[in-house]
Structure 1
Amino acid sequence: MNAPSSRMLTMLSLLQARRDWGGQALADRLDVSTRTVRRDVDRLRELGYRIDALKGPDGGYRLAAGSELPPLLFDEDQAVALSIALQNAGASGAGIEEAAARALATVRQVMPSHLRHRVDGIRFERPVAGPAVDPAVLGVVSDAVHGRKVLRFDYAGSEGAPRRTEPHGLVARDARWYLVAWDLDRDDWRLFRLDRLAPRTPAGPMFRPRDIPTGDAVSYVAARFTGGDGSDGGGWPYVGEVVIDLPARDVIPWVADGEIHDRGDGTTRLVLGSWSWIGLLASLARFDASFEIVGPPALADAAAVLSDRLGRARGRQTQ
């Protein structure tokens, strides 16, 4: 456990988040003895916090009314934004779900009743979180990025010596965290997932920033996810246009980054990208509807190749 002052802040946060705490439960949560809990409670009382003792087998504690943090002023829009952000913290992949829940409980206590009711009414399905990143790792890498310090780390799946990089940016995408860095040993730009990264300390010397191929870390990650290497500014390497026999309302839910144009006759013009022409045709086949290829010719050629493959596959099943 950290120093007494840090531990007492954590204790205060726990007492604000839940009405009653048993002495042993509080000690287990703080990883200290019940005697240390009693001493810390006494220190908090000396600072003016009203903490009541509870009767029971191992005793307990309750933060009395009037012991909250100084009042915070939120308008209704700010309260809604704060509630959504804290409830959705788990989707960030940063491993801060519990801390976010305690923060929301703490802030909720100092809100006027009408704001508490509105915040309590905000409930939604949270997206599935990606692999959790240790907040300590996030802190070390972020410090290296902003301090322009060479970062050494072990990387899961990479054997041999630690990677030596010049970190240029941290990007959160689809509940995962990515580091955009210049790899000093490979003399090229690389993308690293933070959940696979174990920093080595201390940090290395400062470096002079380089120009990221796409201009910034966010666009570089986007380019890599669309099959590029960042040198061309991003975008899918293969893009085709079709007219599909479905209304736009049935196409929109399944297209993340394509162009959709409702033709008004029950069909939709769709411009879509992929890693390959065959991959693009596979994406179109998922709609389970007829479509006409507008272009380019390479997409039509790929359709002929795929048709031949499917025909031969069917023939094997009938033999």
Structure 2
Amino acid sequence: MTTGKNERLLNLVICLMSARQYVTADYLRKHVIGYMDLAGQSDDTFKRMLERDKNELREMGIPVETGRNRLSADEGYRIKPADYALPAIALEADEAAAVAAAAAVWRDPDVSVVSQTAVLKLRAAGVEVASSDELAVMSGGATRSMGSESTIRGLLGAIEARQSVTFTHRTPTGRNARRLEPWGVIGNRGRWYVIGHDLDRDATRTFRLSRVDDVAVASDRGQVHVPTDVDLNALVDAAVSGANGGSGAVATVWLAADRGHLLRRMATRTVASDLDGDRGDVVDIEIRSRSALVRAVLEAGADAVVLTPDDLRAEVIAELDRLIDAEAVR
């Protein structure tokens, strides 16, 4: 079985940190898992791989030194622990899982180097971090809640460069072109949002990343002013709370007989009513959390049908279409 690149890099770091002298390429090929797998490959293939690995470590900020030991003509490599030392780090189990989950989210080659550098440094320093395999399900869910990696990469790049962006915003009723001066990307209640100054509405606006597509830079660098006197987390939380309810709005949902028990527990009124010949009930549910209500309806499947309001019904249908499309491409 071949060794993955991240594991090979980690093995290389550990070897070079542990050595008291320069380690030759020949030694690495014979003793480091990841290079030992290259049996039957040419010397040139190994040398190219080693050069790429050393360069990648250096780009991560890991100081790989080149030199020769006394009485030796062979070039070797090492990493001085003092130059690479991390302060003492102790992570609780949930914190270690969070670090690995954050790294697992970033699968795109242009972004993964950032997160994988952090995990590589933690593991090389002896800090236990959950493996990617342990977080396969978690990372999949996190990725879906964030939207596409090209979206988050484009927004983060624009935020760093202080540039405005254009993008397509998907809503239950259609797709709209938007212009935004992005200030930050914020996580809230399991979802991710971009917040900034909406140039079309001349106001602060928050957009869920899973509904953002086609991000493109729309100004020169340094043209966006990010206010320093506002709490972005608080602004996003207020926007999400407002969108999720608190207005006294009520949804009416048809439920099949003896089905949709979670939704029934949320109901303030229940009236027996058939739908297309199927026995069931119509329930009234106060919309305290719009996203939670949508999830509950989706989980009930064909046993739940949103009747009103129209925008909630459209949102559920759009989410069902998205799930069907996602399943079709697997």
TM-score (normalised: structure 1): 0.47
Tell which structure's C-alpha radius of gyration is larger: 1
Q: Larger relative CO (CA 8 A, sep 6+): 1 or 2?
A: 2
Structure showing the higher helix proportion among its residues? 2
TM-score (normalised: structure 2): 0.45
